Structure formats: structure tokens, C-alpha cells
Structure 1
């Protein structure tokens, strides 16, 4: 049932069950409107409710009723000269300050806080002072827990110190003030204005999203948890491997590192090399056509595509699942193998490999990106070296044209120069045997990045063009 709860300074709406006892209802009201349940009197339709052990239905409370909360004055017996800053006043201040809405103190909260401060004697700092709030949080861990749940950035700032806590609290307060001003402008502006309509549409969209998330957190909280992948224990060529079960993968794959560990790289058929495309692209080194895969002391024949850059050791794809009629049984948390009538359990969270963590995956992506950047820099440096070598060779060739002596000197200079890594002496010897000079062979091999066939074709083309 939905009840409208009101006090002399505040009001709210509460959705409660009819079998909720009165004492529990008072505790709920204490958390929502900061009124002590011990001094609280609940009045419905002008009748005070006194039996705390009875439910709301038994007390005659109906859906849509207006509930009035009256607090008895417990301060009359206290001495007017009592000190307000004693240790007994701290829990009362904590109860009056709602840390769940600490992001923005509203005007009613300001009024209530200042009123309580003036009632306490007017001495000391206001409860809106960041130093006072931080002291209360440090002395009351339960309030810090509420703050950590409702406002994580402010809770983290509280752990860093007063300066950071003051800065974050001020920023959040200014943000809410700005949002409130925007809402007022939206309400007072022309309803047919295009900008006002956009603001209204954004506000409605945000409210719908928040309402959807609140409903999911209340009725389907498990959707916010982390779901771990399905892994099983197996052995490949006698080496233990944690295999990932992926019914969305077309083939069974294995990383190059795992293939070397299992000693099956000698069986890789490079004729099956290529590029694997999915979420990104990876290079396929080749394929191992048949390897013994052991699952729960049962041997199955399996083939693997070996990927060069793969975070997971092994991924059991749809080809193996269909070939051996495997069933993913989530009710029993096992993988059922139909061809052998056996089953193996899925690994628990503590047994999963490190690559399943999101942070580990991001680290691998960062390493891969760094590797690609280093390879790109190496290629650029190599291209610059080739360009310098070509320019030097062209200069030497121009200086050697007037006579044979210059050509001999140029050839000896080129022969003494250092060769780039992509130029081998064997390729130079083969080009020289065809009928070209060593200098020409080196220049063309450097120009064509060590490709002997293209270098010879280029030399023949130049020779024919000169004729």
C-alpha cells in the first residue's frame, strides 16, 4: 500500500506492505524523515496508533491514507544551560543528518539543520560544515557505509582527507544547484520553445532510465552481478589446459603460447594460415589437424587453429561441441559429452585463469597496441635507412660515370658499407651471377625490401630502358 507520511516540517510517500508491524513502520519513518522512533506518535484519521506489535492492516490503515507523525518534546527536562557539544549530542546530530542525500543539502535540510543547531544552544559549527560532516563520518562507520553505497565519489574523497572532501562536496552542491536552476528555467520558459522541449525530453529520458534501473535493482538485482565464463579442465597431448567453452565460436582454437607448451607446434600446417575475424582480427598461424584431447579420462580427437595473439589458452568451439554432441547443462553446472556419455564440471571462480579478468584483458590490449606501435616505428626507421642508402648510392653512381676508376671506387665504397637486415649475401651473389654488379644488387634489394625477384626484374627493366 502507498501511504503519505507528513510531519510539521517534511513529508514523503512510502510504499509498504499491509503486514508490516507498527514498530517496523516507525523505524522506516525514522530512516526517511529523521524522527526518532522512541518519541514518535503515529496518527491515522485522527486516531493514534499505540500497539507496536500489530500490523498496519490490523490497525485499520488502508491504501492512500494520510499518516501524521508527531514527535514528543523530550527537551523540556533538559537544563537550559547544558553544554551542546557533549558526546551524547553526536548520535542525535548523526540521526538528523541524512547522509544518503549528502550530495545536495536542500533548503528544508538547511532549515532543519539550523533549527536543530539553534535548539542545541547555538554553539559550535553548523552540520553543513564539511569538517563536522567528516568527523561524524569517521566516528560512525554505519553512516560511512551508507555514504559509500549512495555516493561513492564523496566517500572516496572522505578517505583522502578534509581538503579533497570539501572540494568534492562543493562540486556536487554546485552541480545540484545548477541542475535546480535549469529545472526552474525549464518550468518558467515558453513551453513551445525548441530548447525548452529538448531539456524536457532529456529530463524525461533520464527519469525513465533511473526508474528502469531502480526497478531492476529491486526486482532483478542479480543482473548487476558479474557472470563468469564457462571453463573446464582438460589435457592436450598430456599437458593440462583450462579450456573455454564458447558455442558462438565456429572452430576450436588455441594460442601459440599454449601450443608450444603442449608441444604441438611441430604439427602446425601453415597452408591453413590466414586471418581470424570477429571482435577484432588475429593472425592464424596454421592448423593442427588431429590431437588427442583428454576430458575426465576420456580421449577425444580434436583439431585446433593456432592463433598468434590469443589471450585464452584454448577455446572449445562449435565444431567440437557438435562433433561430440556436447550439452551445456547450467542446471547441474556441467558439460555433458553425448558420444561418451560422460560429463565434466565447470570451474568455479577461484579456478579461472587470469585472462578472464577485465583488467587483464585491457592490459593485454595495451601490450598489443604498444607492440604494434614499436613495429611501426621499426618499419619507419628501416624505410628512412633505405632512403638514405638509395640517395648515397645515386650520388656515388653519378660520380662514377666519367671513368672506370670512379666506378671502382664507388663499388668498393658500397661493398664496405653495412648491409640492412633484409639484404642477405646469398641474394646479392645470385643477382651478381645473373650479370649485374654488387652495388646494383645491394641498391635494388634495399629498394624492394629484400625481395630478390622484384630486384632482378627492376634491374632488367633498367638495362632494357638504357638500351
Structure 2
């Protein structure tokens, strides 16, 4: 056999190996520094509003620190979270290495495998189905309720048509709420139903339709057209399969079709949506808190208005005195003469506050009539008081 010569093979030295390891360590260190640099991360979020919206959902504490505009506060929160993550990772590795067959270690290993599967699934979706990460615009239409413009949400999954208390106030139909229909609405959350408005006119394009509303106390959405209204008027949106009885939901033409009249109205684009339906504007909790604050402000304004109305109402002391009940400088009698006749049973206000007697029945009027003659004034008052 031919002898193999291994002299030409160069075995890597420890120095080259150390150089390679050093380069890798330097790359890892630079990447870690890049990930932990608060200024770089802040600039990244400033340049990507979409990522900032995602941060608000996934890490509200870090997002709040970012929105303050204080770099030191943002760096402090970021450092705390990075250190906490590193501590958890070190604890996980130490536990798995110390007791690989321990129940807790097995649970951590299973959780790590599950997380890797989730990451792999998300990466596959981002590569082959990226549109799934987009957000669909909700279906809204323009309409008028009692003559007032409203942006209504079309929801074929809602059982009844609902309206917020704030919208009912704006449309001047809050006075029609029947509180006997009060209750609780259960869906994604639980809300209080103030009552029901049994019939209201709603205008869609040139059609005038009637519907009923359940009025919710704390509802960020102004109005929602549910199945009760859609079925009654055979509303249809032709396109995607979401057929309910005679109503077919279709998005091909992007319109709402009223079956009873044949009218079509287009769905609103994203720029025309109300604030509560815009993307990445406010979370659901923020919208609910805002709705609660608006309800409290309405109640406070109503209470203040009622208080001012009561305070400005006519009082007994503010009623102007009749000139017949005032002693004038030209009169030939004094206040003592008036008191003398009043002691006989006649009052100053005998006529002023009575609709059945004339102004001459007052003591002062009679004294003035007879030029201060108390005898004739007394006789006239007795004579008139005895009339039936």
C-alpha cells in the first residue's frame, strides 16, 4: 500500500482558535450592546410607528417610559427588563443542568420546545402568508339618526342594534329611552343597558327606515347595526360568505345593499372611520375609560344645569311689588293708616296675589281712591268683601 503523507496538513494552532473565538465574542458583544443601547432602540421606535404600536400592546411599561420622552427613564426600564430576562435565562440553564430529569426542569424544556415551535410557525407565516399580519378595516357606513349624522358599524354577529348614551344625547332621542327594558349586555365584555328606544327613523342614502335601539351606558362605539335591523330590511353585502337568513354578507363591491329598497351605500375607508375604530390609536381599556369619563362629565353637566335652573327660578322675594301696594309721596295717608285697616282683616297682598279680585280691593288702593279717608275706605273694603 502507498504510504500517506500527512506532513502537508496544517493543524490549526491554539492562537488561531483563540482569534476566531475572540472575533465571535466581539460580534456577540457588539450585537448585545446594539440591542441594549437605549438611544438606538428609541430612534428605531421613532422611525417605526407600527413597532411602537406593537410595543404598547406587548410591553406597556416600556412604552409608557418611551412616551415620556425622557431617555434616562427609558434606559432605566430597559435595563431592568434586560437584566430580568438574563436572570431568568441563567436560572433556567442552571436548573436544567443541575437536575435534567427533575419535574420543573422537564416543564421548562417542554416550554422551550413549545416556544420554538411558535417562533417557527410565525416565521413560516411571515414568509408564506404575510397578509395575515395586516389589520382589516371595520365595516362602517354613513347614516343619519333623527336628522343627525352618525357613522354606524355593521355587525352581522350582533343580535340587536345598539347605540351609546352619548350618541343618543347628540341625536336628541335620549328622552325616548324606555328604562323598563334596562338590563345587562354580554358579549366580549359586560355593559349596562340603560333602556330601549322602540322606534327611531334612520336615513341611509335616500332611504328612510325605522329601527329600534338598545342604549348602552358606556359604549365607545356610537351605533351598531345588528341582525334585527339587517334582517328586517334584508340588508346584504355581497362577497364573502357570511349569509344570515336572507342577508348575504359580500365584500366584492364594498357596499351595503338594502334588500327592501335596492339602495347601496359604500363602506367607509380607514381615513373616514371614527376615532374608536382607527388602527393603533387607543386600546380598548383606554376607550372604555374615556367613555366612562364622558358619561361622568355628562351627568355632572346635567346636575349643574339643573342646579342653575333651580337657583334662577322665581322666588317669592324676587316677585316685584305691585305699584298699588306701595305708599307714594303724593298720597294723603301714612303707613299707620294702612296698618290700622290691615288690623281689621285686610292685607296688602289681598288683591295682588289673587286672580278673583280687582286691584282696587287693596287697602292702599282704597285709601288712595278716597284721598286718605279711612272711614270710606273701610266701608268700601267691607262692601266688596261681602260680594258673592
TM-score (norm 1): 0.44
1:325 shift after superposition: 1.3
Aligned to 1:343: 264
Instruction: Select between 365-374 and 315-324 the one with higher mean Cα deviation.
Output: 365-374
Q: Cα–Cα, structure 1 residues 195 and 256, in superposed 2: closer, same or farther, change >3 Å?
A: closer
* 2:188 is the alignment partner of 1:309: no
- CA distance in 2 between counterparts of 1:114 and 1:274 reads 65
- CA distance in 1 between counterparts of 2:196 and 2:39 reads 65
Listed one character per residue, the Cα deviations across residues 67-112 of structure 1 (whole Å, up to 9, x for unaligned) are: xxxxxxxxxxxxxxxxxxxxxxxxxxxxxxxxxxxxxxxx999711
Aligned to 1:196: 105
Aligned to 1:45: none
Out of 227, 239, 258, the residue aligned to residue 136 of structure 2 is 227
Out of 314, 319, 325, the residue aligned to residue 234 of structure 2 is 325
Aligned to 1:269: 178
- CA distance in 2 between counterparts of 1:167 and 1:268 reads 49
Q: Cα–Cα, structure 1 residues 195 and 373, in superposed 2: closer, same or farther, change >3 Å?
A: farther
Q: Cα–Cα, structure 1 residues 233 and 115, in superposed 2: closer, same or farther, change >3 Å?
A: closer
Q: How many equivalent pairs are there?
A: 253
Listed one character per residue, the Cα deviations across residues 139-167 of structure 1 (whole Å, up to 9, x for unaligned) are: xx99x979x97x9879x69x965896598
Aligned to 1:111: 22
- CA distance in 1 between counterparts of 2:30 and 2:284 reads 45
What is the 5 A alignment of 1:85-124? 111-112=22-23
Q: Cα–Cα, structure 1 residues 184 and 240, in superposed 2: closer, same or farther, change >3 Å?
A: same
Aligned to 1:243: 152
What is the 5 A alignment of 1:266-415? 266-278=175-187, 279-289=189-199, 291-328=200-237, 329-357=250-278, 359=282, 361-367=284-290
User: Is residue 140–residue 154 contact of structure 2 (8 Å, CA) maintained in 1?
Assistant: yes
SS in 2 for 1:240: strand
SS in 1 for 2:256: strand
* 2:90 is the alignment partner of 1:183: no
SS in 1 for 2:136: coil
1:207 shift after superposition: 0.9
1:174 shift after superposition: 7.7
SS in 2 for 1:242: strand
- CA distance in 2 between counterparts of 1:247 and 1:166 reads 47
Instruction: Select between 199-208 and 300-309 the one with higher mean Cα deviation.
Output: 300-309
Q: Cα–Cα, structure 1 residues 205 and 239, in superposed 2: closer, same or farther, change >3 Å?
A: same
What is the 5 A alignment of 1:207-222? 207-222=116-131
User: Is residue 134–residue 162 contact of structure 1 (8 Å, CA) maintained in 2?
Assistant: no
User: Is residue 243–residue 314 contact of structure 1 (8 Å, CA) maintained in 2?
Assistant: yes
Q: How well do the aligned residues superpose, as a CA RMSD in angstroms? A: 4.7
- CA distance in 2 between counterparts of 1:245 and 1:145 reads 35
Aligned to 1:455: none
- CA distance in 2 between counterparts of 1:163 and 1:364 reads 27
Q: Cα–Cα, structure 1 residues 277 and 179, in superposed 2: closer, same or farther, change >3 Å?
A: closer
Listed one character per residue, the Cα deviations across residues 125-150 of structure 1 (whole Å, up to 9, x for unaligned) are: x958959x969969xx99x979x97x
Q: Cα–Cα, structure 1 residues 288 and 145, in superposed 2: closer, same or farther, change >3 Å?
A: closer
1:373 shift after superposition: 11
User: Is residue 274–residue 286 contact of structure 1 (8 Å, CA) maintained in 2?
Assistant: no
User: Is residue 191–residue 218 contact of structure 2 (8 Å, CA) maintained in 1?
Assistant: no
- CA distance in 1 between counterparts of 2:134 and 2:112 reads 28
SS in 2 for 1:359: coil
SS in 2 for 1:247: coil
Unaligned segments of structure 2, at least 5 residues: 1-17, 56-61, 238-249, 298-388
1:284 shift after superposition: 2.5
User: Is residue 285–residue 308 contact of structure 1 (8 Å, CA) maintained in 2?
Assistant: no
1:272 shift after superposition: 2.9
Larger radius of gyration between Structure 1 and Structure 2 = 2
User: Is residue 144–residue 150 contact of structure 2 (8 Å, CA) maintained in 1?
Assistant: yes
TM-score (norm 2): 0.52
